[in-house]
Structure 1
Amino acid sequence: MMTEHSELILTINHGSSSLKIAFFEVHGHTVHCVLRGAAEALGNPPSRAFLCDSIRCVLFNTEKTFASPEKALEVLYAAAIRILRRRPTCVGYRVVHGGPHLLKHCRIDDEVLMTLKESIHFAPLHIPQALTIMQHMRTVLPYAVHCACFDTTFHRTMQEVATRLPLPQRYFDAGIRRYGFHGLSYASIVERLGSDVPERMIIAHLGNGSSLCALRHGNSIDTTMCFTPTGGIPMATRSGDLDPGVLLFLMRTYGLGADELEAIVNRQSGLAALTGGGGDMRAILKGRNDGNACAELAIQTYTRSVRKAIGAYAALLGGVDRLIFTGGIGEHSNEIRDMVCGGLESLGIRQGDRGKGNVMVMAAGEEQEIAHICRTIG
């Protein structure tokens, strides 16, 4: 039950195909979720929006086509306020990329918003929508504290040997470096493991956007995503790493400009390109099981890329004490996890029943992590 004078925090986590919100009540140094919800399949109507209480009882549910994530947020927020009969005093936002200047979680003011606007080119799929949502909620809740929680902050522990790209110094000075993403997801797992964090750990956040992170004593030392969330392993619609010569070839041979290349590598590539259809892993697995050769190729490409990254990080760490899967695919697809782990026994990676083995599955706790950050800086 919520107490009359306790602080209420709203967290907003906008991904590439979904919007998640949660309300947390603060009790001293702890935060407790009292309501959470999501709008799923944004851009692929009909979308579903729902709210659940702390014991997962559905309190609100609707299926409709939302014109934008902020429209979905309006519906979810209005329903939540009717249920809670309270308004939040603090709002925390997941922000994928803060660019080279916003490196720490912070309160949002006009200066922060301006800096984010100047950093749109670092994450063109994510920052514009985050800005729209922030500006909307600042209007809805003008007296609340608003906090930006950056995915890139977690990776500030990476040393220069991991962040520096082999380009001229002037480009590094301009902010072209490895930033890393999914940091709130990784941080939430480290937080929940607590004293059980091993020395050498790899976390695979596998979802619509996917990345892996190598951690030593809970600190990021390397990660697959680089300058933007487009890099690393192939994803639902993102290409992952490409030979730079491919982009030069496309420019010279087909006369493609920057906007066209951006559309290709962010929206028309990855699993969707390999299947010739969509990038939803559930549908691709079904196609594979039905004998679809393109679906088979897509899954083999995806799992092989994840397995290669694990092997590279095992070498970097000098071994693996624990491998953790998270994200929508990582949490829910036994088939993908089995394919990834197949052949990794020589690295000491073993799946087992009843706790035997060093492979774990953990739900991403980004909203809880955002709430903890808000409690600290809000």
Structure 2
Amino acid sequence: MSEMDLGITAKLEPILEEVRSMVRDEILPLDEEFLAEVNNGDRWAYTPRQTEILEGLKAKAKEKGLWNFWLTASDRGYGLTTVEYAYLAEEMGKAHIGAEVFNCSAPDTGNMEVLERYCTSEQKDRWLTPLLAGEIRSAYLMTEPDVASSDATNVSMSCVRDGDDYILNGEKWWSSGAGDPRCQIYITMVKTGGEDEPKHQRHSMILVPADTPGIEKLRAMQVYGHDDAPHGHLHIRFTDVRVPAENLILGEGRGFEIAQGRLGPGRIHHCMRAIGQAERALELMCQRSLRREAFGKPLAKLGANYDIIAECRMDIEMARLLCLKAAWMMDKGDARAAAPWISQIKVVAPQVALKVTDEAVQMFGGQGVSQDTPLARSWTGLRTLRLADGPDAVHRMQVARTELRKYTQERV
């Protein structure tokens, strides 16, 4: 195995400091104001103040050259490795709008990966160029309400060839970002092959413009009662939706190949940001424990709070190192070898971040579950992350299979 360097490189150091400073000094102070604007008028439209905040910050990031860090191994990108990007994503994860300010937010990063890696020059001109510029948003439609989508071979949205078009029928839900009024393109997993085809060659990916006739937005999915407007995770119905055949990506039966190329980076990006959320929660916890008193003592000196704070710090450090190891494995270029490492961190990072955030909530008492801190919102998102891009159980199964192959020639 080649030498593993997980440290902050000389190239990264000044960039990291710029991103850290911008998150701390410019983005975090506007985070809560941006979110409070959701309740002013139409929840599914950006208010003038939201637009002013977001576009103003994006313009500053662009002006500083802090843009599109996520795209590795590409002339269009910033020229960073996945390990280098991990440190930046952690900083972005500390603010709700942090990733979007630098054009590094989900699901756009994964969708841009698909467009960059697999799509034609015409498709790139139409969709990738404005996405890279931060002018539009996108959604990724894979999960379906009537099948266990953790086994993606169950995906059943019908996609039938009809002359120069495909006709789509079915439903998708948890379509992240589809509620955003700026969302113009859906990358959609569909079923094109019959039961006689190998199960991993029955599915395809197709580009569906969001304004195509026959698309019905049924509802916004709620996470513990919150709809995440104006971003939103929608339940969508397709009824005889006609899409040009040229919008199919790579060809029929290539859906799983594309999905794996997309989900690998997407999963690890989520984990990087989750570690940033954990750091933010620990910071708030420590500040609270020293400022607040009960029974004549600072909270830090009550009960097991020293131990809790120490365990949170150690858990974060271990999770970060595992995330960096997974990023390093990705940088080596062997997707199959990297996969079990990505599965490991996909289980560990959300669980650690969730634990730290929950302990911070406990330190804040009633205020911790209220709207007066970012903790309740962060906890909700992190709990969801244990399901997004594959639930814990599926990733643990992949890790176990990899481990067992060392000891048996049998298929496990």
Q: Is this a same-fold pair by TM over 0.5?
A: no
TM-score, length-normalised on structure 1?
Answer: 0.24
Max Rg structure: 2
Greater share of strand: 1
Name the structure where helix makes up a greater proportion of residues: 2
